[in-house]
Amino acid sequence: MNQSRTAFARLADQARRRIEEISPDELARVKPSTVIIDVRESEEYAEGYVARAKHVSRGVLEQKIAEVVPDFSTPIVLYCDGGERAALAAENLIKMGYRYVRSLQGGLQNWLESGGELEISRRFRQRQ
């Protein structure tokens, strides 16, 4: 593993210790008022996402979050592919003042391994 990847993994691990993670089973049971946000890149999102998930790429999350979740008391669950980007994003949203932010433990990989299903965007289906 190169130094940059090692530093990123260490940073994500530190974030995971400071935020709350939820299991795939817990995600499947969140209330409809909880906003689920996929922080992966557009191409990743198009290939499949958790039902009800809104897409806000990690790179613009802090800039765009108020458009998707204007109320700081709205419950939010973030996910990415493996959980690292979402953990870092959750930590930043908490620093911004969002009070109920959690991350999906293990990300989309864990969701799928636990039997979770994906929605596929129409645009992606049309390209296949």
pLDDT surpassing 70 at residue 125:
no
Mean pLDDT of 66-77: 98
Contacts of 28 (CB under 8 A, 6+ apart): 116
Mean pLDDT of 77-93: 96
Segment (H or E) for 64:
helix 61-68
State in Å, rounded, how far the first CA of the chain is from the last one: 34
Mean pLDDT score across all residues of the chain: 92
Instruction: Write down the pLDDT at residue 100.
Output: 98
Token pair 């990415």 in the structure block, residue: 80
Instruction: Write down the pLDDT at residue 75.
Output: 98
Distance CA 92, CA 112 (A): 26
Which fold is adopted by the domain 3-127?
Answer: Oxidized Rhodanese; domain 1 (3.40.250)
pLDDT in tens, 103-124: 999 999 999 999 999 998 765 5
Mean pLDDT of 15-26: 95
Instruction: Write down the pLDDT at residue 8.
Output: 84
- 32-64 burial: b if 16+ Cβ within 10 Å, else e: eebbbbbbbeeebbbebbbeebebbbbeebeee
